[in-house]
Amino acid sequence: MKNILVTGGTGYIGSHTTVELLNKGYDVFIIDNLSNSRKEVLNSIEKITGRMPHFLQLDLCDREKVMAFFANNRIDATIHFAAYKAVGESVEHPLTYYRNNLVSLVNLLEAYEKYNLDNFLFSSSCSVYGDQSVLPIDESAKLSKPESPYGNTKQIGEEILSDTIRVNKFSGIALRYFNPGGAHESALIGEYPLSPPNNLVPVITQTAIGKRESMTVFGNDYDTPDGTCIRDYIHVVDIAKAHIAAVERLLNKKNKNKFEIFNLGTGKGNTVLQAIQAFESVSGVKLNYKIGERRAGDVVKIWADTKLANTELGWKAELSLDEIMRSAWKWENQLMNDPS
Ligand code: WQD
């Protein structure tokens, strides 16, 4: 069976993708430095799939160790999730983000060159689009300067991948996630913020369960139906399944270009208040929130044009905003019962 390297595989999207890969019969090698995830996730993955992935705790910024890994393991494709991803933190510590997110990518690509490897999937983000006037947004849109160093590492990462692929034999795909949320139906894996989260879905569930006193809606004076920002919230399991479609496109040589980019969204936008209302209706919990000032760097509205992924990957998001909130709430409750 094919061997797939999943960097950041004990993380949020990485663990959900590992579950889908194991369920499809692939052998999975996880490399993770556990800087923002827990090793116990491996046991949860085994509980869900009945299979334990290979695991190596390793910092991808360590070039020697990365080269040694590929010298000792036959890898048929790599899905590269490992990166720091807190937008606000990246503004405070830009060099930490540029070093970690870009040196790790360069090391992996140097190994690809050295060992003549093929099939590289890069975890990118709708953050590369910045504020856009034409919506829904498609992959051919002219990118504007991302709002944060985090978003910039994704934009630069896509360019590094594209330039490297151009002068090598291997192919690659960048997947631009919109706003991932929710958790696996088993509630054995989910978003596990080791530090207080900034993104909306876990802020909602932590407020509802009492881990946080209250939450703030960052601004309700935007040019949107209810004045709050619009985002394309997509279930993490839908995102994971898109990775299977993308890695199989490469493994089966179905890609039409050596470097391809796909949006991973639902194609539907929801406001912050609509997201809160969805949570309240599926959980039965009245959320304690207040309206506050706008958050610096927030894009007013963005949602995906998903036609390319639908037609080329044969993939379409199937789970609703309600399902995102239902599964996120189930996961938050499970965490409370098992805070290990
Ligand atoms: C969503 C909306 C906030 C928290 C994220 C990731 C980024 C990328 C895209 C993957 C905004 C509002 C939030 C709160 C609020 N994903 N909000 N109160 O900023 O779109 O970016 O998705 O790569 O990495 O950070 O997501 O969840 O932070 O914000 O009102 O306490 O919710 O203002 O309008 P964002 P978010």
Q: How far is the CA of 268 from the centre of ligand 1 (A)?
A: 16
Contact yes or no for 322/270 (Cβ under 8 A): no
- Triad 117, 29, 32: Cα angle to 5°: 105
What is the per-residue pLDDT for 195? 84
Residue owning the nearest CA to atom 23 of ligand 1: 125
What is the per-residue pLDDT for 339? 62
What is the per-residue pLDDT for 297? 82
Query: Does ligand 1 have an atom closer than 6 angstroms to the CB of 220?
Result: no
Span 6-26, pLDDT tens digits: 999 999 999 999 999 999 999
What is the per-residue pLDDT for 340? 60
CATH topology of domain 3-183+233-266+303-319: Rossmann fold (3.40.50)
276 has pLDDT over 80:
yes
Query: Rounded to two decimals, what is the model's pTM?
Result: 0.97
Looking at the annotation, which residues are catalytic?
150
What average pLDDT score do residues 88-98 get?
A: 93
User: What residues contact 27, with CB distance under 8 A and at least 6 apart?
Assistant: 1, 2, 3, 4, 53, 54
Domain boundaries, the chain: 3-183+233-266+303-319
Q: How far is the CA of 272 from the centre of ligand 1 (A)?
A: 9
Q: In Å, how far are 143, 148, 172, 214, 313 from 299, measured between CA atoms?
A: 13, 11, 28, 23, 28
User: What residues contact 229, with CB distance under 8 A and at least 6 apart?
Assistant: 218, 219, 222, 271, 272, 298, 299, 300, 301
Residue owning the nearest CA to atom 32 of ligand 1: 200
Please provide residue 232's backbone torsions phi and psi, each rounded to the nearest 5 degrees. Answer: -105, 95
Q: What percent of the chain has pLDDT over 70?
A: 99
Please provide residue 3's backbone torsions phi and psi, each rounded to the nearest 5 degrees. Answer: -100, 125
Q: How far is the CA of 159 from the centre of ligand 1 (A)?
A: 24
Query: Does ligand 1 have an atom closer than 6 angstroms to the CB of 229?
Result: yes
What average pLDDT score do residues 202-220 get?
A: 97
Taking the CA of residue 217 as reference, the ligand 1 atom at the shortest distance is 30
At residue 286, the 3 state secondary structure works out as: coil
Tally the C-alpha atoms within 13 A of residue 48's C-alpha that lie toward its C-beta. Answer: 25
Taking the CA of residue 150 as reference, the ligand 1 atom at the shortest distance is 24
Span 293-337, pLDDT tens digits: 999 889 999 999 999 999 999 999 999 999 999 999 999 999 988
Which helix (H) or strand (E) segment holds residue 259: the answer is strand 259-264
Residue owning the nearest CA to atom 11 of ligand 1: 229
Query: Does ligand 1 have an atom closer than 6 angstroms to the CB of 200?
Result: yes
Span 22-68, pLDDT tens digits: 999 999 999 999 999 999 999 999 999 999 999 999 999 999 999 99
